[in-house]
Structure 1
Amino acid sequence: MNAVDRAHVRDFHQEDLEGIIRLWEDAHSTGDTPAYSMAEVIASCSQDYAVVAIRDDQVVGAAVGRAAHAQGWVVFFRLSDEPERVGVELLDELERKMSPLGLAKLSILVSSDGPRLDLLVRNGFEPRRSLRYLERILPVQGRELDLLKELGGRVMPRNLWDTVAGMHDEKRLLEERLVTPLAQPGLAERFGVVPPRAVMLFGPPGTGKTTFAKAVASRLDWPFVEVSPARLADSAAGLAGALRQTFDSIGQLEHAVVFIDEVEEIAATRRGDPPSATQGVTNELLKLVAEFRDREGRLLVCATNFVRSLDAAFLRHGRFDYVVPIGLPDPAARSAIWQRYIPPHVVGDVDLETLVRSSEGLTPADIEYAARRASQDALARALERGDTAEDDSRLPGTKQYLRALNATRATVSEDDAREFLEDIATIARL
């Protein structure tokens, strides 16, 4: 399937109705009888909430929902012969559209031998009783919705953890140290493990620390709230006061992964007499971390590119449970990154091993830049020659990607990489 032919998800339009009827009829004819009648599905398309997957101007998937009191119902969910990714996107988009209603649950009834039951289970729905009634507890409910909106937080896509390809050691470490104890506190207690409250991620810029923080939130199915000191600096309460107010608001959420990037900006080594304004902010943040640790159901994730510049008190035992290095992508991760940005109809003709080997020492962002540059250069050459038709000879190949790599400046220098290895030996706490 060409990239241009891949299905995309959008809101329902009235002209999509015929396609949804066809999907309903196909389901009925194959024995996967929909729980709701065609008339009910049509009514909800027009009056409630519906999203569709479109490929080649045809409706190839649909998710239709309605709300009753504090519970949402998926009245119709059907996918033609499309990748599971499309089904996940349909369900995510429907949930996004219905979340402002303050629903506590999102439920769906399916036939006992429905072909997409496994997809629903992997998407967070839990089967109930022999009827195969599936329901999903929404991570943010009621009044928390407005609070989360005020904080600029959001619920991450549930499949984000799986999209972090490669980096198996880092993922295994985060799964064991963070996700499992927080998601299964009973299991952690049985083994004498105390669920973590705060973790520091460090490493060179562009290595994916923010992505890992979001992936942990996705894996836990907790809201993700990023606290940006730069945005808080203009508050009338001052940066320290704004930090206090923000953490007080976060304290009203039942669960949350709180993320502070480039934390060295507000937690650098304190020095000088008299104290600087930054020192006051550092003192306040140290107090907030201590208070944050007293509450369950929350995880503070801080990230820094310059772990050596952090104040010594900030990394002492008792404040951060783990200090985790996040380095450059390993070969498996580089391979996955290349495959993400090389068009699917091209990747089979590209020497992927050579690209993986040649991109050692580059960050994910560096590789993305090189891949996109090669594609853009190939398109520019095709436009220049006027041969944009079905001519695969003009598509980017191994030589074009290698040429783009040669023109890509590495974000992480050799000195930075060497210092990172030293920091792992002297500062990391796993």
Structure 2
Amino acid sequence: MSNWRIRDFHSSDMDGILHLWESLKADNVDPVYALSEVLASCEKDHAVVAVQGEQVVGAAVGRAAHDQGWIVFLATLPEFRGRGIGTSLLAAVENRMTPHGLNKLSALMPESETRVEAFLGRGFLLKQNLHYFERTIPVQRQELEPLSQLGGRILARDLWENVAGMRREKELLERRLVLPLAEADLADQFGVVPPRAVVLFGPPGTGKTTFAKAIASRLEWPFVEVFPSRLASDPKGLAGALRETFLEIAELEHAVVFIDEVEEIASQRSGEPPSPLQGVTNELLKIIPAFREQPGRLLVCATNFIRALDTAFLRHGRFDYVIPIGLPDVHAREAMWQRFIPASVVDSVDVALLVSRTEGFSPADIEYAARSASQRALEKAVYTADAAGAGASSGGAVPASNARKGPVTQDYLDAIADTRTTVSDEVHQDFLEDIDSLARV
């Protein structure tokens, strides 16, 4: 007669689960599921333990999802192995999961695990030629609520790849920012301190916000945008609300924090009496050093008018890099046109001509011209007299299927001619001078 018995898991058994976990690690077995997952399933899913007296000598933990069940943990203390405890634990946890309508019960075992008799004895089949894929979700469940309260979000993983052109800027951001943050251990090995705060500056519409989002996407960190205009209505005042927001951000494990048009709250301090915004600037200058002490975070500030920023704001020790984001070059403009022109007609459009005609255009200008050309072409296809036929005589629109299939080169040229560029020659020249005097890359 055995001197052990099986019962449901109790919260007081947590130390026993930890002891079982440590016994596996001592045998050089690396469990598939993390300890935190196992402990969470013990409390919320299905768990049974084998006990001798008051000692936990074995445990099985299962999790059900729809009609599929998974064994996330099975362990027996070394001195109790070979007594059939594992098979009995599997039977007990299956009995508790079956009422949930399971069609299949599965288990993943590390390759180093040799004690599979419990599974075989319970009727499990060993599947050959399978690959196990695993992906860690970047934001943990406990962070979702504070992230939502901050208005933060997880951006699509392909955002970085979808930034058309701007190859030089992407390469610079990849090397200076993404690499040391994504490979923190490797950076530490080389004595590289990961960046904590950067300024992106450049003319309006050059993609500074897009790059900030793309950095968050590339790192798979939550993106939190701080809107000073919204904080200004807070009863605590803008400075107080700004301080409170950054305290809440400190609760997140990782975050890319973005402040656009930062010159609105960090402009040159001058005048007697002091401007009301000087208190906000002072508060921000205090926040940044504290922010820099927290790993796993990056502050990205963007400005169209870097000359307006307070000189103390940009000094070394607050921002690691001051990076220019300028107008797209020939290669970047070509990539943007290739992206915006419909695939069905791109081979028939003179892209090289569009590239040459849009020198001095910002990414936003090019996108606007491309969308405008598509809209014009659609209207021509539906409403022009050439395509009207019987539909025009009855006052109705002609189906687009009877007309041409997309924009042509002339549609794009017309749209380009009607597009008012965002960046003037004077603004662009000032930007080039700012690169020489203020950029830090």
Does the 8 Å CA contact 2:289/2:318 hold for their aligned counterparts? yes
What is the deviation of 1:378?
1.6
1:238 aligns with 2:246: no
Aligned twin of 2:440: 429
CA contact (8 A) 2:207 2:325 kept: yes
In the alignment, does 2:407 pair up with 1:396?
yes
Preserved CA contact (<8 Å) 2:195 2:320: yes
Aligned equivalent of 1:19: none
> How far is 1:71 from its partner?
9.2
Contact 1:378 1:394 in 2 (8 A): no
CA RMSD of aligned residues (A): 2.3
1:13 equivalent in structure 2: none
- Using the TM superposition, give the Cα deviation of residue 258 of structure 1 relative to its aligned residue in structure 2, in angstroms: 0.3
Following superposition, the deviation at residue 351 of structure 1 comes to 0.3
1:202: how far off? Answer: 0.1
Shift of 1:130: 7.7
Residue 408 (1) aligns with residue 419 (2): yes
Rate the CA distance shift 1:389–1:280 in 2: closer, same or farther, 3 A.
closer
Larger Rg: 2
Task: Identify the residue that residue 58 of structure 1 maps to in structure 2.
Answer: none
CA spacing shift, 1:231–1:72, aligned 2, 3 Å: farther
Instruction: Specify whether residues 131 and 72 from structure 1 end up closer, same or farther in structure 2 by C-alpha distance, changes over 3 A only.
Output: farther
Deviations 1:345-397 (A, max 9, x none): 11111000111111111111111111111111122222223343434546321
**How do 1:243-392 residues align onto structure 2 when only pairs under 5 Å count?**
243-385=242-384, 386=388, 387-391=398-402
**2-side partners of 1:71 and 1:170: how far apart?**
44
Q: Which runs of 4+ in 1 moved over 4 A?
A: 68-75
Any idea what SS the aligned residue of 1:241 has? helix
Instruction: Note closer, same or farther for the CA distance 1:313–1:344 as it changes in structure 2 (3 Å cut).
Output: same
Tell me, yes or no, if the aligned pair for 1:232 and 1:242 is still in contact at 8 Å: yes
Q: Is the 8 A contact 1:349 1:397 kept in 2?
A: yes
| Partner residue, 1:44 | none
Q: CA deviation at 1:215?
A: 0.7
Counterparts of 2:129 and 2:436 in 1: how far apart (Å)? 53
Indicate if the aligned counterparts of 2:344 and 2:406 stay in contact, CA closer than 8 A: no
Using the alignment, how far apart are the partners of 2:383 and 2:363 within structure 1? 30
Q: Is the 8 A contact 1:165 1:332 kept in 2?
A: no
Following superposition of structure 1 onto structure 2, how do residues 6-85 of structure 1 map, counting pairs within 5 Å? none
Percent identity over the alignment? 62
Partner letter of residue 420 of structure 1?
F
Contact 2:373 2:415 in 1 (8 A): yes
What CA distance in whole angstroms lies between the structure 2 residues aligned with 1:130 and 1:425? 59
Question: Contact 1:166/1:331 (CA < 8 Å) preserved in 2?
Answer: no
Residues in 1 aligned to 2:351 and 2:64: alpha-carbon distance in whole angstroms: 50
In structure 2, distance between residues paired with 1:379 and 1:165 = 24
CA distance in 1, matches of 2:65, 2:205: 41
1:69, distance to aligned residue in structure 2 (A):
5.9
Q: Aligned residues, how many? A: 312
Task: Label 1:378 to 1:288 Cα distance change in 2 as closer, same or farther (>3 A).
Answer: same
Unaligned segments of structure 1, at least 5 residues = 1-67, 76-108, 110-128
Look up the SS of the partner of 1:344 in the other structure.
coil
1:348–1:298 Cα change, 3 Å: same
Aligned counterparts of 1:369 and 1:425: Cα–Cα separation in 2 = 30
**How far apart are 1:131 and its partner, in Å?**
3.9
Q: Secondary structure at the match of 2:224?
A: strand
- Counterpart of 1:178, as a letter, is L
CA separation of 1:305/1:132 partners in 2, compared to 1, >3 Å: closer, same or farther?
same
Structure-2 separation of matches of 1:417 and 1:132: 54
Specify the alignment match of 1:417 in structure 2: 428
1:187 and 2:186 matched: yes
Please, what TM-score do these two structures have when normalized by structure 1?
Answer: 0.69
Choose 352-361 or 376-385, whichever is displaced more: 376-385
- Per-residue displacement from partner, 1:269-303 (whole Å, max 9, x unpaired)? 00012222100000000000111001100000000
Shift of the 345–392 alpha-carbon distance from structure 1 to 2, 3 Å rule, reads farther
Contact 1:227 1:259 in 2 (8 A): yes
TM-score (norm 2): 0.68
User: Using the alignment, how far apart are the partners of 1:73 and 1:182 within structure 2?
Assistant: 40
Residue 341 of structure 1 and its aligned partner are, at CA, apart by: 2.0
* Contact kept? 2:203, 2:431, Cα under 8 Å: yes
Unpaired runs of 5+ in structure 2? 1-61, 70-107, 109-127, 389-397
